[in-house]
Amino acid sequence: MYARRRHAYFLLMGGCLVLFVSAWAFVRLWSVPVAVGMCVVAMVIPPLAAVVANRRGPEDRWWDDPSGDPQSDEWWDELDGKRKPGSGPRP
């Protein structure tokens, strides 16, 4: 999943660079308003790329990762029903 998100991020950012560079290298010679419009579209792409790169899929189980604090992890496991109360520390 991480590789797919990374590829999507680089594809979007590459498209952003292509839009920006081509707007001012070629398109401005024919139409400045179109070049400005291309830059506006290129301006919207980086935040969208960041959202795509940081989204989590349904199979990413980040909420189940232990926090590193044994007491907190034990408490959350008890609340989630993974362990019975007072059954001792996590193995």
List pLDDT tens digits, range 24-40. Answer: 999 999 999 999 999 99
- Given a contact cutoff of 8 angstroms between Cβ atoms, the answer to whether 53 and 6 are in contact is yes
d(CA 7, CA 45): 15
What Rg, from alpha-carbon coordinates, does the chain have? 23
User: Is the model's pLDDT at 21 over the cut of 80?
Assistant: yes
Interval 74-91 mean pLDDT: 68
Q: Global pTM?
A: 0.61
Q: Could you tell me if residue 42 is inside a domain?
A: yes
Q: Work out the mean pLDDT of the chain and round it to a whole number.
A: 83
d(CA 87, CA 77): 11
The amino acid present at 15, given as its one-letter code, is: G
Q: Could you tell me if residue 80 is inside a domain?
A: no
Residues of the chain with pLDDT > 70: what percent? Answer: 78
Q: Which domain holds residue 14?
A: 1-56
Q: What is the number of structural domains in the chain?
A: 1
Interval 1-11 mean pLDDT: 85
Q: Could you tell me if residue 61 is inside a domain?
A: no
d(CA 84, CA 78): 6
